[in-house]
């Protein structure tokens, strides 16, 4: 395959005994033959609703302070609430992996104010503000026309997170020389020791493809792992999935006959890996979350598979689902005493659960820590994701993301593992970085309309009252002597949990050991509706992201009506508008007939094939014995 074909011009791989095989472009161009730029990297996000800017062009609409909202709505007080449908941590981890396959935006810094005197503020921010990066305007917009934003990766679910969207990155990732000619590269991806290559794997790390540097990686960029997507080092679970599919690519290559050229083997493996990601997404991931799509009726060339701004900016922001910790069980003797001491030194807890030892890895340790994956072991980490439930997809966000995202403990902490267990300790960290705040501000930045306007855009009727949004009985603060009646929204006691229940309806003690492992619903001293009313005043002023997460779930799903409508529309478009979707791709059947290689693998299959680790068949749901 020549370099031009890799850059977007469709080429073909002759194959051996199976005829020509069309090749997906790296950047998504040419998937739709009538409209070659649809879904292509570097094009604008689609709009499902008219953009909303204060000046009609690009000025951010004013609203309540995002951190003020976060302290009163997103703050979970360290109380875990889990998926009521027993969705495992694979729910959010796979969701993030797919997210990085279909969208990314560049950014420019515009800090968000932080009020240290907020009576509901528990954290100290030595930096004085919360870092926020506004998305640059797409060329030609934001002056005489409304500001639009660019999706820098291919919109299609095509494995771009594994292979990248440009030939330069792909050439670096493939075995062989880096000389500007993909034709002399090998079929295998570079995987020293079975793990993604470090930035210094080919010598000078400055010549490696760009990667985002999280946490401590800023000081040690040479140890960052290089993948198809720049965000692979964000957390150890995401890095594990990236590593799994790089191994899967090389496994497929090894199964192909030596009579094929290196490029033929590479393209066949890439085609199968992309189909495997689609197969898992549509047959395991979406059903586990309760997303039911209309039956597939074949490829529709009139369907633009591009990602919508509303979906990328609001609907797919599933940060409430993110569990604040990975519990990796292991057999005694797996790690040496020196290895366990090394884990403890960097903040990993080592405890016993159900008679077996486990590593307890908080998100604060997992961020920007790529070496941790090989130390823990790929198979053990991947297995752990299916053994514990993700958090409930509600308005509450774990403090690992709500206050200390991408940070490392203050220097001099004698026990760094205590910073994230059982809940994040405010005194451990020097700054505040709130993902919920960023989610609110990102919606305003991209001109996403208000909650009710977004409901209208997705065919849903607007809500007239705060209780209609939340499904609660009252939008008033209770007559409780523990609450300051003069200004109740600023009284910390409004967030107290007064009742918790598990999935069977049994009562649990707030912040007790059982509640931290079993609670799926929580009742607070004040209703969500009362707090929303005190913050926004009018239902028509609610930020779309906040309103979306405040809706009660449709039974059997992880979503309220608005978020479910957004997921349904987008994933149908990604399916129906993709000429290479696995149910429409005849080359996959030809590959299977010629070489006995199929894309129809479950995620559990791929984990076993590439790590030798056995896991339960349906990894997206926690087994009954673990729930």
Report the distance separating Cα 27 and Cα 11, nearest Å. Answer: 13
Average pLDDT across the chain, whole number = 92
pLDDT at 423: 47
Q: How confident is the model at residue 5 (pLDDT cuts 50, 70, 90)?
A: very low
Report the distance separating Cα 372 and Cα 154, nearest Å. Answer: 30
Q: How confident is the model at residue 176 (pLDDT cuts 50, 70, 90)?
A: very high
pLDDT at 429: 59
Q: Is the pLDDT of residue 625 over 70?
A: no
Report the distance separating Cα 392 and Cα 559, nearest Å. Answer: 10
Place of tokens 């600023």: 490
Q: How confident is the model at residue 104 (pLDDT cuts 50, 70, 90)?
A: confident
Report the distance separating Cα 233 and Cα 236, nearest Å. Answer: 7
Q: How confident is the model at residue 333 (pLDDT cuts 50, 70, 90)?
A: very high
Longest CA span, the chain: 81
Which phi and psi (to 5°) does residue 171 adopt? -60, -40
Q: Is the pLDDT of residue 627 over 80?
A: no
The closest alpha carbon to 436, from 8, 19, 139, 75, belongs to 75
Give the pairing type, strands 507-508 and 497-501.
Answer: antiparallel
The closest alpha carbon to 137, from 57, 23, 244, 204, belongs to 57
pLDDT at 125: 87
Q: How confident is the model at residue 215 (pLDDT cuts 50, 70, 90)?
A: confident
Q: In what order do the strands lie in the sheet with 521-524?
A: 507-508, 497-501, 521-524
* Exposed / middle / buried, residue 110 (Cβ in 10 Å: 0-12, 13-18, 19+): middle
Beta strands in 246-389 (DSSP E): 325-329, 349-353, 356-362
Element (H, E) at 339: helix 337-345
Report the distance separating Cα 439 and Cα 454, nearest Å. Answer: 16
Residue 216 CA to its chain's centroid (Å): 21
Residues whose CB falls within 8 Å of the CB of residue 272, separated by 6 or more in sequence, listed in order: 252, 588, 591, 597, 598, 599
Domain ranges of the chain: 3-450+543-611
Report the distance separating Cα 216 and Cα 227, nearest Å. Answer: 19
Q: How confident is the model at residue 100 (pLDDT cuts 50, 70, 90)?
A: very high
Q: Is the pLDDT of residue 13 over 80?
A: no
- Report whether 309 contacts 384 (CB < 8 A): no
Residue 304 CA to its chain's centroid (Å): 23
Q: Is 428 helix (H, G, I), strand (E, B) or coil?
A: helix
Give the pairing type, strands 150-151 and 356-362.
Answer: unpaired
The closest alpha carbon to 390, from 574, 568, 558, belongs to 558
**Arithmetic mean of pLDDT, 414-426:** 51
pLDDT at 1: 27
Q: How far apart are the first and last CA of the chain?
A: 49
**Arithmetic mean of pLDDT, 512-528:** 93
Q: In what order do the strands lie in the sheet with 325-329?
A: 325-329, 356-362, 349-353
Q: Is the pLDDT of residue 21 over 90?
A: no
pLDDT at 29: 98
- 198 vs 429, higher pLDDT: 198
To the question of domain 3-450+543-611 being in CATH 1.10.640.10, the answer is yes
Structure tokens given for 155 = 């919109």
Q: Is the pLDDT of residue 516 over 70?
A: yes
* Exposed / middle / buried, residue 430 (Cβ in 10 Å: 0-12, 13-18, 19+): middle
Report the distance separating Cα 168 and Cα 26, nearest Å. Answer: 11
Neighbouring CB atoms inside 10 A of 554's CB total 13
Element (H, E) at 13: strand 12-13
Neighbouring CB atoms inside 10 A of 556's CB total 10
Place of tokens 């993030």: 96
**Arithmetic mean of pLDDT, 281-309:** 98
pLDDT digits (tens, 9 = 90+) for 557-609: 999 999 999 999 999 999 999 999 999 999 999 999 999 999 999 999 999 99
Structure tokens given for 34 = 């009538």
Q: Is the pLDDT of residue 495 over 50?
A: yes
Report the distance separating Cα 483 and Cα 27, nearest Å. Answer: 56
Instruction: Return the percentage of the chain with pLDDT > 90, whole number.
Output: 82
Q: How far is CA 17 from CA 194, 257, 266, in A?
A: 31, 11, 17
Q: What is the DSSP string of 107-176?
A: -EE--EE--TT-TT-----TTSEE--EEPPPPTT-SSSS----EE-S-SS-SSHHHH-SSHHHHHHHBSS
β-strand partners of 108: 134
pLDDT at 127: 83
**Arithmetic mean of pLDDT, 512-518:** 88
Q: Output the pTM of the full model.
A: 0.94
- Report whether 326 contacts 364 (CB < 8 A): no
164 upstream amide cis, omega within 30 of 0: no
pLDDT digits (tens, 9 = 90+) for 368-398: 999 999 999 999 999 999 999 999 999 999 9
Structure tokens given for 10 = 């469709």
**Arithmetic mean of pLDDT, 524-540:** 98
Residue 267 CA to its chain's centroid (Å): 27
Q: How confident is the model at residue 510 (pLDDT cuts 50, 70, 90)?
A: confident
Q: Is the pLDDT of residue 52 over 60?
A: yes
On the CB side of 438, CA atoms within 13 Å amount to 24
pLDDT digits (tens, 9 = 90+) for 259-294: 999 999 999 999 999 999 999 999 999 999 999 999
Residues whose CB falls within 8 Å of the CB of residue 314, separated by 6 or more in sequence, listed in order: 439, 443, 448, 454, 544, 545, 548, 566
């Amino acid at each position: 395959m020549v370099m031009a074909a890799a850059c977007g011009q469709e080429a073909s791989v002759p194959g051996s005994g199976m005829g020509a095989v069309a090749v997906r472009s790296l950047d998504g161009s040419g998937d739709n033959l009538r409209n070659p730029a649809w879904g292509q990297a570097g094009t604008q996000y689609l709009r499902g609703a008219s953009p909303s800017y204060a000046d009609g062009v690009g000025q951010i609409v004013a609203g309540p302070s995002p951190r003020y909202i976060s302290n009163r709505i997103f703050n979970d007080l360290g109380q875990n609430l889990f998926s009521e449908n027993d969705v495992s941590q694979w729910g959010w981890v796979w969701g993030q992996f797919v997210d990085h396959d279909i969208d990314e935006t560049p950014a420019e810094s515009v800090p968000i104010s932080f009020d240290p005197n907020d009576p509901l503020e528990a954290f100290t921010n030595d930096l004085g503000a919360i870092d926020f990066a506004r998305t640059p305007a797409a060329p030609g917009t934001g002056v005489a026309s409304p500001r639009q934003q660019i999706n820098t990766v291919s919109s299609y679910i095509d494995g771009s997170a594994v292979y990248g969207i440009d030939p330069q990155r792909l050439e670096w990732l493939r075995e062989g020389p880096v000389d500007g000619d993909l034709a002399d590269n090998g079929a295998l991806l570079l995987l020293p020791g079975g793990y993604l290559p470090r930035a210094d794997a080919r010598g000078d790390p400055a010549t490696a493809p760009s990667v985002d540097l999280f946490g401590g990686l800023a000081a040690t960029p040479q140890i960052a792992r290089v993948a198809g997507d720049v965000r692979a080092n964000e957390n150890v679970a995401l890095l594990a999935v990236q590593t799994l599919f790089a191994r899967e690519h090389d496994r497929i290559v090894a199964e192909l006959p030596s009579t094929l050229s290196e490029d033929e083997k590479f393209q066949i493996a890439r085609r199968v890996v992309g189909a495997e990601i689609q197969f898992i997404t549509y047959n395991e991931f979406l059903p586990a979350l309760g997303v039911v799509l209309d039956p597939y009726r074949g490829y529709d060339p009139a369907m633009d598979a591009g990602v919508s701004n509303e979906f990328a900016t609001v609907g797919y922001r599933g940060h409430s689902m993110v569990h604040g910790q990975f519990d990796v069980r292991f057999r005694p003797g797996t790690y040496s005493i020196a290895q366990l001491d090394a884990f403890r030194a960097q903040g990993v807890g080592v405890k016993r659960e159900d008679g077996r030892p486990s590593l307890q890895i908080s998100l604060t340790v997992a961020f920007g820590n790529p070496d941790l994956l090989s130390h823990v072991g790929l198979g053990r980490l991947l297995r752990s994701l299916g053994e514990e439930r993700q958090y409930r997809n509600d308005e509450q966000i774990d403090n690992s993301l709500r206050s200390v995202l991408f940070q490392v403990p203050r220097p001099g902490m004698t026990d760094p593992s205590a910073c994230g267990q059982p809940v994040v300790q405010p005194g451990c960290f020097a700054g505040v970085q709130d993902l919920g705040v960023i989610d609110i501000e990102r919606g305003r930045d991209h001109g996403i309309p208000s909650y009710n306007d977004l409901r209208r855009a997705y065919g849903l009727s607007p809500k007239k009252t705060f209780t209609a949004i939340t499904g609660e009985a009252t939008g008033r603060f209770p007559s409780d002597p523990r609450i300051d009646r003069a200004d109740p929204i600023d009284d910390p006691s409004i967030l107290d949990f007064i009742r918790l229940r598990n999935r069977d309806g049994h009562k649990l003690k707030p912040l007790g050991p059982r509640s931290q492992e079993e609670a799926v619903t929580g009742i607070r001293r004040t209703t969500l509706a009362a707090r929303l009313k005190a913050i926004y005043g009018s239902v028509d002023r609610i930020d779309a992201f906040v309103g979306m997460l405040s809706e009660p779930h449709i039974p059997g799903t992880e979503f309220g009506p608005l978020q479910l409508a957004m997921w349904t529309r987008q994933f149908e478009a990604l399916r129906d508008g993709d000429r290479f979707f696995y149910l429409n791709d005849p080359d996959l059947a030809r590959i299977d007939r010629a070489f006995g290689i199929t894309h129809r693998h479950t995620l559990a299959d791929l984990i076993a094939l590439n790590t030798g680790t056995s896991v339960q068949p349906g990894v997206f749901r926690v087994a009954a014995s673990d729930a």
